[in-house]
Amino acid sequence: MRLSRYYAPTLKETPAEAEVVSHKLLLRAGMIRKLTAGIYTYLPLGLKALNNVARIVREEMDRAGALEILMPAVQPADLWKESGRWEFYGRELLRFVDRHEREFCLGPTHEEVVTDLVRHEIRSYRQLPINLYQIQTKFRDEIRPRFGLMRGREFVMKDAYSFDKDDAGADASYWAMYKAYIRIFERLGLKFRAVSADSGAIGGSFSHEFMVLAETGEDTIAYCDACDFGANVEKAEAVCPPPGDIAPCPPAETVATLGQHTVEEVAAFLEVTPDRIVKTLVYVADGKTVAALVRGDRELNEVKFKNLLDAKDLRLASPEEVTAATKAPVGFAGPVGLAGIPVYADRELSLAADWIVGANAADAHLRHVDLGRDAAILSFTDLRQVAPGDPCPKCGAPLSFAKGIEVGHVFKLGLKYSKSLNATFLDEAGKEQFMIMGCYGIGVSRIVAACIEQNNDASGIVFPPAIAPFEVALLNLNAKDAEASAKADELYDALTAAGIETLLDDREERPGSKFKDADLMGFPIQLTLGGKGLARGIVETKDRRTGEKGELPLDGFMDAFVAWREGVRQGWGLE
Amino acid sequence: MRLSRYYAPTLKETPAEAEVVSHKLLLRAGMIRKLTAGIYTYLPLGLKALNNVARIVREEMDRAGALEILMPAVQPADLWKESGRWEFYGRELLRFVDRHEREFCLGPTHEEVVTDLVRHEIRSYRQLPINLYQIQTKFRDEIRPRFGLMRGREFVMKDAYSFDKDDAGADASYWAMYKAYIRIFERLGLKFRAVSADSGAIGGSFSHEFMVLAETGEDTIAYCDACDFGANVEKAEAVCPPPGDIAPCPPAETVATLGQHTVEEVAAFLEVTPDRIVKTLVYVADGKTVAALVRGDRELNEVKFKNLLDAKDLRLASPEEVTAATKAPVGFAGPVGLAGIPVYADRELSLAADWIVGANAADAHLRHVDLGRDAAILSFTDLRQVAPGDPCPKCGAPLSFAKGIEVGHVFKLGLKYSKSLNATFLDEAGKEQFMIMGCYGIGVSRIVAACIEQNNDASGIVFPPAIAPFEVALLNLNAKDAEASAKADELYDALTAAGIETLLDDREERPGSKFKDADLMGFPIQLTLGGKGLARGIVETKDRRTGEKGELPLDGFMDAFVAWREGVRQGWGLE
């Protein structure tokens, strides 16, 4: 493509609307434009990047045996009512009526539609397994859309749905997708981790998230450098050493802690370390008051607590609710004598006795508390957040933390939708059985943003070769000079004929603008033709990722280029 | 692809929901499934056909210099209010509010969005011309969706929009698209005609429709076999001979025509031919009563009449309204003495005098009426429908009629949207000017249906090679036999390696089922391996279009196949 005939409007200033780097750079590099909050138009460069991601996703889905279909964006409410999600999904589901006052929604996901399709089509175990996928535009009415393509309202997803006749088959379908995802993110040239994930509201028995590593990520991942363990901190197990001998504990006694509310204040006041204190946290789960205990130097993991309670809604109690439940101001809650309130403790608290806890009275704590003896604890279980340095649950080495952006998700759904939508088949014995489902999503448009969050510098985007709209930017610095332009055209034709996507900057602009634009748009390879280099018979090269510059001879250019390009690709971890 | 691992569920029975042949066959061949009225899921075969059409459209748009972008499906109401279409568009525009009660619609077309994009981006004549296109899912809330993909609510379109600095440029952009469309439909292997079209509600100065010829088409095309003239009958000019001498006309007189309402009745009663009678048609145009006159043997063309009046809404008057306007029952309206009602006449009526007209009184007509003398005619102009055998407006040869399905449309929009949305640029003299626009649509999903309406027989679909989901169906009749299957696999691998999309029917089904399914799905080439042929070292061939059968040797198969396939493609008019 010739830039003079293309449409890639770069901006010098960063638009005020953009907060995160990918959003800023997608706007500045002329890849997207905002239509309205959370809704964007893809300009030619942005669409090429999007299509590059989609193509690799499609190839790997096909290779894994999934079959591509295309389901509608507009979905009838009836199916969502049948699955039970019409009420449950909340206001992110955009609902409307058609001209005949029939209720519809704009699909944020397609479990209902695909299950409805399959229940009408599949009759026999002979037709299973089947895995159907699509790459399609979805809509989620985010309350506060932001961050450009990272959290838009209209976005492009790949969603796949597997149907199996038994659990072993469903597991095989799951792992086939897991492996396809690994290949996809490797081919895209992204640094990523597959992590165990909390399966959240969508339900299901197990799942993995695929995280693109980036400092700006909203998710925190705990991972191990010594083995392949990785998990969202929401899900990562906090390892608990085996129980040992517990020293006997003197009788509990009240101690005055006038004005000492926080763990740090109480620890300093009583001259102990925070790990001797029990933190009592009062929550409201589906309207009912409950309490959770963790060691003073630990944090409660709300996702683990919510899963333990099997609660739909979990929130910290307000100060008024804490006082009503404990008869004491905030800061003095404790597990002893908390009548009528279920109390759950992190399992670490079972390793010792002799704790300091709130006394459920103003300005007072209890010491020498043996939780087993003095309090009614419903269970000791894993409730705390892991922390950097905690032992890896798999190998015991210290865990590291990293920030990540979720770009893919695989779920084993089990029977959730096949039961509610009655998707059955006849098994080998002629008996009706529910299909076992899995669902597998990839945020295609989100990957374009996430790859920029991971790969950028002060000059602009640093696109991985597989995602870059063009692999090569060929800068003709003498666009007004016929001879130089003929040479540039010759190189452009040779690169294009070799199947290497090249953008020829043939504009009559200053060299400085051309370099700046090429850097901003982030093409992996820059080739510059002009000036003294041209006189010497060479093309200047630049590897956008490393910034390294070099020269290639015009004479025998393609051979030299292909060899040099190999090195650039290897630097990206590509074959 | 191996059919045993594919998902192409054929149906023996035609579902009751389907009325037209393409809808029936798309369902029976396992290409689409209905989700709800006018909204379909594309199964793997249907999606492949859709993508084949989209690919050719994209290649030709790119070749013509248009740049691909992707605009959102969800569009803010504000833009539609600015263009004036929010009120005007009617209930086919699906409207809704988001969670913040802001108004949106699901885009049935993108003039507003693209003009909004361009007005913010283009500042100078140096940036023009530009032509932006997308292939995208649209929604139109049809009151009665039907005919499957022919008139669905959710559908895939290619829409392009050109912006030019002057009229000559806009014309060049228009004709570049016109030529690209010709190439697209030729490459698709469809019999089609480009015809002058009424530009309808979308506005604009001139336009062409691209019609796929099919007996089941809803549109009627007038075309000339002697030259390249083609027009929608809505738009085709009725040629009127030059005026000659007109015989003087006796004074008008009333004649009793008791109970004679229709032209035929009056002609028989008065013993004249219908072409001596003037038909007076009373209409309501935007609430105002008007009358149109055509010769008794002609039909009024309502589109011409509506355009003449520049009316938004035109309908036949009800019997009550006719009586109120003419003081006579239906059947006796005439132009003489029609006080206060504007009367327009077809120009053919100016070629003669001495007409018979209704008397605006029950059971009475007037004869010896000279319209110029006896009636107040606002204008004599082209108002009648052309008929088969009428002279071609271009060369005078007799016109033929054909039925067609509109699959593409090119419009020169002019200033309609650039004025209402204030899309301007600075010209060479630094003066602000409105951009001149064109818009160019292709119904991508509709083409899949239209190609089936044109190409089918009692056994099923007859896909043109460019659209067929697979070019070749390879039927292995001995799927249980390892040796035969190895041979089939070998052929399959050779065809696939040559880039020929092949579906291998490796199911353990009866030969009859395999032949039936292959015919139904409509692959252009059937290759059959098995039985006695296999023993003789041959593959049986069938050209789906002609039904012609033949044999190719297994020894040296690919060379023989490639040569034979050329003939099949030439039969489709492909290079």
Q: pLDDT tens digit string along B427-480?
A: 999 999 999 999 999 999 999 999 999 999 999 999 999 999 999 999 999 999
Phi, psi of A216 (to 5 degrees): -90, 5
Q: Cβ of A7 and B132 within 8 Å?
A: yes
Phi, psi of A117 (to 5 degrees): -60, -50
Q: How far is CA A242 from CA A237, B204, B548, in A?
A: 15, 81, 80
Q: How far apart are CA B377 and CA B371, in angstroms?
A: 7
Q: How far is CA A79 from CA A85, A112, A136, B98, in A?
A: 9, 6, 19, 21
Kindly indicate the confidence band of residue B30, based on its pLDDT and cuts at 50, 70 and 90: very high
Kindly indicate the confidence band of residue B39, based on its pLDDT and cuts at 50, 70 and 90: very high
Q: How far apart are CA A438 and CA A64, in angstroms?
A: 14
Pairing mode, strands B525-529 and B472-476: parallel
Least confident range from A200-204, B124-128, B282-286: namely: A200-204
Q: What's A389-400 look like in SS3?
A: CCECCCCCCEEE
**pLDDT number for residue B517:** 97
Residues of A in contact with B95 (CB under 8 A): 96
Q: How far apart are CA A501 and CA A515, in angstroms?
A: 18
Tens digits of per-residue pLDDT, A379-414? 999 999 999 999 998 899 999 999 999 999 999 999
Q: Cβ of A96 and B96 within 8 Å?
A: yes
**pLDDT number for residue A207:** 87
Tokens 């709209």 sit on residue: A469
* Residues belonging to chain A: 575
Q: How far apart are CA A339 and CA B208, in angstroms?
A: 81
Written as one letter, the residue type at B122 is I
Distance from CA of B92 to the nearest CA of A (A): 8
pLDDT at A111 exceeding the cut of 60 = yes
Q: Cβ of B99 and A130 within 8 Å?
A: no
Q: How many helices (H) and strands (E) does chain B have?
A: 16, 31
Percent of chain A whose predicted confidence (pLDDT) is above 70 = 99
Helices (DSSP H) in A64-127: which residue ranges? 77-83, 85-88, 111-121
| Neighbouring C-beta atoms of residue A482, cutoff 10 Å | 9
Q: How far apart are CA B424 and CA B1, in angstroms?
A: 52
Q: How far apart are CA A175 and CA A64, in angstroms?
A: 10
For residue B128, what is the nearest residue in chain A, using CA coordinates? Answer: A5
Q: Rounded mean pLDDT of A445-467?
A: 97
SS3 A121: helix
Query: Which of A17, A74, A131 has the highest number of chain B CBs within 10 A, making it the mutation to test binding with B?
Result: A74
Q: What's A411-471 look like in SS3?
A: EEEECHHHHHCCCEEECCCCCEEECEEEEEEEEHHHHHHHHHHHCEECCEECCCCCCCCCC
Q: How far apart are CA A328 and CA A361, in angstroms?
A: 5
Q: Cβ of A74 and B43 within 8 Å?
A: no
Kindly indicate the confidence band of residue B231, based on its pLDDT and cuts at 50, 70 and 90: confident
**pLDDT number for residue A201:** 42
| Strand ranges inside B123-185, DSSP E | 130-139, 154-164
**pLDDT number for residue B446:** 97
pLDDT at B47 exceeding the cut of 50 = yes
Q: Tell me whether the omega of the peptide bond preceding residue B129 falls within 30 degrees of 0, making it cis.
A: yes
Please give the radius of gyration of chain A, using alpha carbons only, rounded to the nearest integer. Answer: 29
Residues of A in contact with B33 (CB under 8 A): 117, 120-121
Tens digits of per-residue pLDDT, B89-131? 889 999 999 999 999 999 999 999 999 999 999 999 999 999 9
Pairing mode, strands A343-346 and A379-381: parallel
B573 class by beta-carbon count within 10 Å (0-12 exposed, 13-18 middle, 19+ buried) = exposed
Distance from CA of B405 to the nearest CA of A (A): 24
Name the helix (H) or strand (E) containing B61. Answer: helix B44-63
Least confident range from A113-127, A216-230, A279-293: namely: A216-230
Q: Cβ of B121 and A33 within 8 Å?
A: yes
Distance from CA of B480 to the nearest CA of A (A): 16
With beta carbons less than 8 A apart as the criterion, state whether B218 and B443 touch.
no
**pLDDT number for residue B198:** 58
- Which tokens belong to B568? 């099949």
Query: Which of B17, B35, B62 has the highest number of chain A CBs within 10 A, making it the mutation to test binding with A?
Result: B35
Q: Cβ of B35 and A96 within 8 Å?
A: no
Tens digits of per-residue pLDDT, A118-157? 999 999 999 999 999 999 999 999 998 888 999 999 999 9
Name the helix (H) or strand (E) containing B273. Answer: none
pLDDT at B88 exceeding the cut of 90 = no
Kindly indicate the confidence band of residue A345, based on its pLDDT and cuts at 50, 70 and 90: very high
pLDDT at A205 exceeding the cut of 80 = no
- Which tokens belong to B556? 């040296």
Question: Residue B39 is nearest to which of A44, A74, A141, comparing CB atoms?
Answer: A74
Kindly indicate the confidence band of residue B200, based on its pLDDT and cuts at 50, 70 and 90: very low
Q: How far apart are CA A530 and CA A476, in angstroms?
A: 6
pLDDT at A7 exceeding the cut of 70 = yes
- Which tokens belong to A22? 């990918």
Provide the mean pLDDT of chain A. Answer: 94
- Which tokens belong to A423? 């998707």
Sheet of B314-316: strand order equals B314-316, B278-285, B288-295, B343-346, B379-381
Q: How far is CA A9 from CA A41, A298, A460, B429, in A?
A: 13, 50, 14, 23
For residue B96, what is the nearest residue in chain A, using CA coordinates? Answer: A96
Q: Looking at the DSSP assignment, which residues form a beta bridge with residue B302? A: none
Phi, psi of A484 (to 5 degrees): -60, -40
Q: How far apart are CA A80 and CA A90, in angstroms?
A: 12
Q: Cβ of B9 and A99 within 8 Å?
A: no
Please give the radius of gyration of chain B, using alpha carbons only, rounded to the nearest integer. Answer: 29
Phi, psi of B364 (to 5 degrees): -145, 140
Q: What's A9-74 look like in SS3?
A: CCCCCCCCCCCCHHHHHHHHCCCEEEEECCEEEECHHHHHHHHHHHHHHHHHHHHCCCEECECCCE
User: Among B499, B446, B569, B507, which residue's Cα sits nearest to residue B148?
Assistant: B446
For residue B99, what is the nearest residue in chain A, using CA coordinates? Answer: A91
Q: Which residues of B197-227 are buried (b: 16+ CB within 10 A; e: fewer)?
A: bbbbebbbbebbbbbbbbebbebbbbbbeee
Kindly indicate the confidence band of residue A362, based on its pLDDT and cuts at 50, 70 and 90: very high
pLDDT at A203 exceeding the cut of 80 = no
**pLDDT number for residue B273:** 95
Q: How far apart are CA A270 and CA B291, in angstroms?
A: 102
Q: Which residues of B416-433 are buried (b: 16+ CB within 10 A; e: fewer)?
A: bbbeebebbbeeeeeeeb
Phi, psi of A38 (to 5 degrees): 75, 10
B485 class by beta-carbon count within 10 Å (0-12 exposed, 13-18 middle, 19+ buried) = middle
Q: How far apart are CA B225 and CA A502, in angstroms?
A: 47
User: Interior CA angle at B211 toward B146 and B50, to 5°?
Assistant: 60
**pLDDT number for residue A146:** 85
With beta carbons less than 8 A apart as the criterion, state whether B109 and B159 touch.
yes
| Neighbouring C-beta atoms of residue B562, cutoff 10 Å | 11
pLDDT at A423 exceeding the cut of 80 = yes
DSSP assigned state of A360: S
With beta carbons less than 8 A apart as the criterion, state whether B416 and B217 touch.
no
Q: Which residues of A181-218 are buried (b: 16+ CB within 10 A; e: fewer)?
A: beebbbbbbbbbbbbbbbbeebebbebbbbbbbbebbe
With beta carbons less than 8 A apart as the criterion, state whether B310 and B366 touch.
no
- Calculate helix-pair angle for B444-454, B21-28, nearest 10 degrees: 100
Q: How far apart are CA A54 and CA A72, in angstroms?
A: 18
Kindly indicate the confidence band of residue A198, based on its pLDDT and cuts at 50, 70 and 90: low
Residues of A in contact with B101 (CB under 8 A): none
DSSP assigned state of B197: -
Q: Rounded mean pLDDT of A90-94?
A: 92
**pLDDT number for residue A79:** 97
pLDDT at B567 exceeding the cut of 60 = yes
Phi, psi of B138 (to 5 degrees): -120, 165
User: Among A173, A197, A93, A199, which residue's Cα sits nearest to residue A141?
Assistant: A93
Tens digits of per-residue pLDDT, A54-69? 999 999 999 999 999 9
Q: What's A232-246 look like in SS3?
A: ECCCCCCCCCCCCCC
Q: Which sign does the torsion angle of CA B381, B384, B390, B392 carry?
A: positive
Ordered structural domains, chain A, with CATH = 3-237+401-453 (3.30.930.10), 253-381 (3.90.960.10), 470-571 (3.40.50.800)
Tens digits of per-residue pLDDT, B349-394? 999 989 999 999 999 999 999 999 999 999 999 999 999 999 998 8
Q: How far apart are CA B130 and CA A40, in angstroms?
A: 20
